[in-house]
Amino acid sequence: MHIDSSLWFDKDNRGFLGKGRIELLKNIDKYGSLSKAAKIMKMSYKAAWDSLNEMKSVSNDTLVITSTGGVGGGGSRLSSIAKEYIKMYDLLYESQHEFLKAIESHTKNFSDLQTFLQRSSLRTSARNQLFGKVHNIQKNSINSKIIISINEEIDITSSITNRSIKELGIKKGINIFVLVKAPWVKISTSKKSDENQLNCHIQKIKTETNLVEITLQTKSNLKLISVLPLEIFQMLHVEKNDKVVASFKPSDTIIGI
């Protein structure tokens, strides 16, 4: 039995992104022109323009930057947030496809399907869940380092055993996620060696008893949560909107596929 499905993003109960709109954004990025993108997709310029306006209205984000005149004439290019939406959609679409493909082999027996779905719905307590693609694998005798590209600006290094790499089927180019528990994320005002280090600013601070929960955000809008003892946080002398360095060890990561 073949199972198929579409993927659509809604925001505030309004349609935002689907396969057609993602294709439109990709073609604008490829050809540098809204009119060329519309022509390739065999749609009118007005329909393409209306789609962009609807996306901007729903998201409140500038997705396409248009220029006019100049030596090479006018053109259109995608903003960084539009490229992030494309990567997010492609990752989720591929994950959805792989999930539905895995389900197909369990549809002959209801109890088998039920067991499979229960295993697939496993949740994790890790607050930080980062999605990316394996960029490189540096193999050693027992443990190896996996370099995962989260976005154009951020690479994360994870250290796991060679046995785990083999059992999970990890190889260059596959999509995986990295889990990092909040207490493992440290904050400092300077960089350290041999650790994953992300330049962030403090977005939110929440104090509870003897612990402090800090919400951090990178320049590329990646969010991290750190939980520190109150006395450690006070020694940092930082507050909301301050720039800090979030760091965690490659060994303090959990890899999932």
Distances (CA, A) of 204 to 145, 186, 216: 32, 15, 7
Contact predicate 107/113, CB 8 Å: yes
The H or E element that residue 56 is part of is: helix 45-59
Q: What are phi and psi of 167, to 5 degrees?
A: -65, -35
Residues 18, 93 contacting (CB under 8 angstroms): no
Cβ proximity of 203 and 240 under 8 Å: yes
Show pLDDT as tens, one digit a residue, over the chain (257 residues): 677 778 888 877 788 888 999 999 999 999 999 999 999 999 999 999 999 999 988 888 888 988 765 444 468 889 889 999 898 888 888 877 777 776 776 677 776 666 656 555 545 667 888 888 899 999 888 889 999 998 888 999 999 998 888 888 899 988 888 899 999 999 998 877 768 999 999 999 999 889 999 999 999 888 999 999 999 999 999 999 999 999 999 999 988 87
188 within 8 A of 236, measured Cβ to Cβ: yes
> Of 255, 249, 84, which is closest to residue 177 (Cα–Cα)?
255
In whole angstroms, give the CA distance from residue 159 to residue 77.
37
DSSP tally for the chain: helices H, then strands E: 7, 14
Helices 19-31 and 80-104 sit at what angle, rounded to 10 degrees? 130
State how far the Cα of 77 lies from the Cα of 211, in Å rounded to an integer.
Answer: 45
Among 90, 89, 67, smallest CA distance to 77 is for: 67
Dist CA 232 CA 228 (whole Å): 7
Q: Judge whether 125 and 181 are in contact, CB under 8 Å.
A: yes
Place of tokens 């994360």: 156
Other Cβ atoms within 10 Å of 186 Cβ, number = 19
| Domains assigned to the chain | 1-122 (1.10.10.10), 128-177 (2.40.50.100), 179-255 (2.40.50.100)
User: What is the C-alpha separation between 157 and 138, in angstroms, rounded?
Assistant: 10
pLDDT at 123: 56
| pLDDT score, position 71 | 47
Look at residue 225 in the predicted model and tell me its pLDDT. Answer: 94
